[in-house]
Chains A and B, each alone.
Chain A
Amino acid sequence: QSVLTQPPSASGTPGQRVAISCSGSSSNIGWSIVNWYQQLPGTAPKLLIYANGHRPSGVPDRFSGSKSGTSATLAISGLQSEDEADYYCATWDDSLNGWVFGGGTKLTVL
């Protein structure tokens, strides 16, 4: 069982907006920053959002992140078929003294 809680699945149709949640506690999300990673089938994870809401160069502005209290959200607008992937949130846990990941959310584009 993961320290961070994500819904196991999410779905949307092309062009729609989808939001994926990540719930934690005061010792992790409430204290630290949140990163989001995208893992396309059969490939390594790729950094999508860092420090709650910053996009690395090359990541489309369709992807956005936010944090409030002990929860974080990844939003994808203008959904495209190539967005079909697993998405993971990650943060530092001050009690565990280490990085923790959410269980992952499998996004399906219908």
Chain B
Amino acid sequence: QVQLVESGGGVVQPGRSLRLSCAASGFILSRNGMHWVRQAPGKGLEWVATISYDGSNKDYADSVKGRFTISRDNSKNTLYVEMNSLRAEDTAVYYCAKDLGGQHCSGGRCHSYGMDVWGQGTTVTVSS
């Protein structure tokens, strides 16, 4: 079955960097877009970034644009997010999620159908 396992979380000081990984199994990663979504303690879900199946298209939330980089290595069935210049407000559980596949189009603009299967999450704490 489809499984996503995140790793790389931990405690990091403000201004430092961290790279999260998401190991995929049970499906062909190279055929699917992927997402990162985070959840601050006691708060709701916040979309972080999306990467297309081949890595050619990447979208970021304004809150992380210029600091976070999403990437993928389809040969290793792994998704990544490189997080730089970390802030206290980046403290959260980070989830990777597989895209549903397909596209919704309207007015000549298209986007994916969104998050399907989610991993169990990895916790990032930014604190001095």
Contacts and interface: CB of A to CB of B under 8 A. Distances in A.
A89 to B, nearest CB: 10
Nearest to B46: A101
Q: For chain B, what secondary structure do more than half of its interface residues adopt (helix, strand, loop), or is it mixed?
A: strand
A2 B45 CA distance: 10
A81 to B, nearest CB: 23
Interface string B67-109: 0000000000000000000000000000100001000101101
B109 A94 contact: yes
A53 interface: no
Contacts of B11: none
A32 B104 contact: yes
B114 A90 contact: yes
B115 A31 contact: no
A96 to B, nearest CB: 7
A96 B118 contact: no
What 9 A-B pairs are tightest by C-beta distance, nearest first? A99-B47, A104-B44, A44-B118, A92-B111, A101-B45, A35-B114, A103-B44, A33-B104, A45-B118
Interface of A: 2, 31-33, 35, 37, 39, 43-47, 50-51, 56, 86, 88, 90-92, 94, 96-104
10 contacts: A33-B104, A33-B114, A44-B121, A47-B116, A47-B118, A51-B104, A90-B47, A92-B111, A98-B60, A101-B44
Interface of B: 35, 37, 44-47, 50, 59-62, 95, 100, 104, 106-107, 109, 111-121
